[in-house]
Chain A
C-alpha cells in the first residue's frame, strides 16, 4: 500500500493533515524517506486509510500531491 503522500513543505503537510481530519481521515506528518533519483528533504503525510479519497480532497483544496510512496512507519 502506498500510504505515504509527498507534499511540498512542512506547513503544507500540517495544513493537509488538518483538512483531512475535518473529513474524518486520519494522517500523520512524516519526513519522506530518500529514494534513488528523487529529491529527498521533504515532508508528507502517512494516511491510514482512504488514500485515493484523501488525495482527491487535498486536490480540491488546491494542495498538490507530488507523489506516493510505500514505507515509512506510522
Chain B
C-alpha cells in the first residue's frame, strides 16, 4: 500500500519506535510514578526521559512543563476549559479543527463566547489584522492552529501570540500539524500553551499527546484523581505535571514517542520537512496541469505551508475519489471534511469535502508519481 494519510497518523512508524513499545511492554511494564520498586522506578525514569527529550525538542527548560495527554484533543480541551470562565471571550481561527471548535461551542452553555478570525493565505498582515479586529475587552484566550490540517496553510502563530500578549491575552496553539513537521522553539516565544499530537509528525504511537506549558498561568484541572503523589490530600496537587496527569498514563506510548522524536532528530527535522514539501510541490505542479483537478491553495511554499495538499476531481465527490484510489490503486488518502468544517466552510468545500494527501519521512517520489498516475486515470 502507498500510505498518504499521514495527517491522520504517520505510518509506518520507525522500527525503533515499534521496538521501544515492544520492549516497554515486555520488560518494563510497571506503573510509572506509583511504586518504589525497581521496575516502577525504571518506568518512571523512562517517562521522565521522554519529558526531558520533548522539553529540549521544543526549547523548554523544565521537563515538569511537559504534560502528557492521550492526544492533542485532550490537551486542547484541558487548556481551553481550564483557562476560560463565565463571561470570557475566546478567539479561534477559521482553520480550526473540531478539537478546538467543539470545546468552544460547548462552552457557550457556560456563558463563554467565541469569535472566528479569518485567515488569509500568504497575507500575514491581513490575518493579523483579522485577529486584532476580534479582540474584545473580555477576550481571555486565543486558540489557533499552527497550520490547517486540510489545506496545509500555516498561520503566523508567533505574530498572533505576540499581538495577544500586548493585550494580556493567553495564547494556545494547536500544533497537531506542526509538531515534528517544522521546528518550534518556545524559548523565545509568545505561545503560552503548545498542544501537540505524539502520533503524527513526531512518529510516536497513537494515544500520545502533550501540553507544553510556556507560562506561569496554570489552568484548572480538567479531571482529578490519583497521581501517585501526596495521596493523603483530598485536593488535586497543584504542581506540574501531576495536576494534569491523573490516572495511569500511556507508558508504552510515551516510550515510543521518545524514540519517534529521536528518529526525527537523527534525520533532521528540516531535512524531513524539505523532503515532504518537495513531494507535495511536485504533486501540486502535476495536478495543476490536469484540467479536471481543483486545487485550493497557492503553490506550496516552505514559508506559508506545511506538506498537506487538498484537491478534488471535478464532478466526482471526494469520498468516491479516495475510495477508487484505495480499492483500485491501493493508495491511502483521506476524503471528506477531516474534522474541520470551519476550514471547509471558508474554502467553500463544506458540501463536497476534499481529498487530502499528506506524505511522511518515508514517502518516496515514486509513491507520489503513482498517485499522480492514478489520479490521471480516474474518469
Report which of A9, A15, A29, A40 forms a contact with B237, defined as CB distance below 8 A: A9
Contact flag A39-B233 (CB < 8 Å), given A10-B44, A15-B64: yes
B154 in the interface, Cβ–Cβ < 8 Å?
no
Q: List which B216-270 residues lie within 8 A (CB) of chain A.
A: 227-233, 237, 239-242
Please give the distance in Å from A21's CB to the nearest CB on chain B. 13
A72 to B, closest residue via Cβ: B36
Q: List which A20-42 residues lie within 8 A (CB) of chain B.
A: 29-31, 39-42
B33 in the interface, Cβ–Cβ < 8 Å?
yes
When chains A and B are docked, how far (Å) is the Cα of A11 from the Cα of B36?
Answer: 13
B62 touches A15 (CB 8 A): yes
When chains A and B are docked, how far (Å) is the Cα of A30 from the Cα of B48?
Answer: 15
Q: Which of the four size classes fits the interface of chain A?
A: 10 to 19
Contact flag A43-B45 (CB < 8 Å), given A8-B237, A15-B63: no
B interface: dominant SS = loop
Residues of A contacting B51 with CB < 8 Å? 11
B352 in the interface, Cβ–Cβ < 8 Å?
no
B32 in the interface, Cβ–Cβ < 8 Å?
yes
Report which of A8, A10, A39 forms a contact with B232, defined as CB distance below 8 A: A39
When chains A and B are docked, how far (Å) is the Cα of A23 from the Cα of B102?
Answer: 48
Please give the distance in Å from A47's CB to the nearest CB on chain B. 17
Task: Enumerate chain A interface residues (CB-CB to B < 8 A).
Answer: 8-12, 14-15, 18, 29-31, 39-43
19 A-B pairs with CB atoms under 8 Å apart are A8-B229, A8-B237, A8-B239, A8-B242, A9-B237, A9-B239, A9-B241, A10-B32, A10-B33, A10-B228, A11-B51, A11-B240, A11-B242, A12-B239, A14-B63, A15-B64, A39-B230, A41-B228, A41-B232
Give me 15 other A-B pairs in contact (C-beta within 8 A), A10-B33, A12-B64, A31-B36 excluded: A8-B237, A9-B229, A10-B44, A10-B48, A10-B229, A11-B33, A11-B63, A15-B64, A29-B41, A30-B36, A39-B231, A40-B232, A41-B228, A41-B229, A41-B230
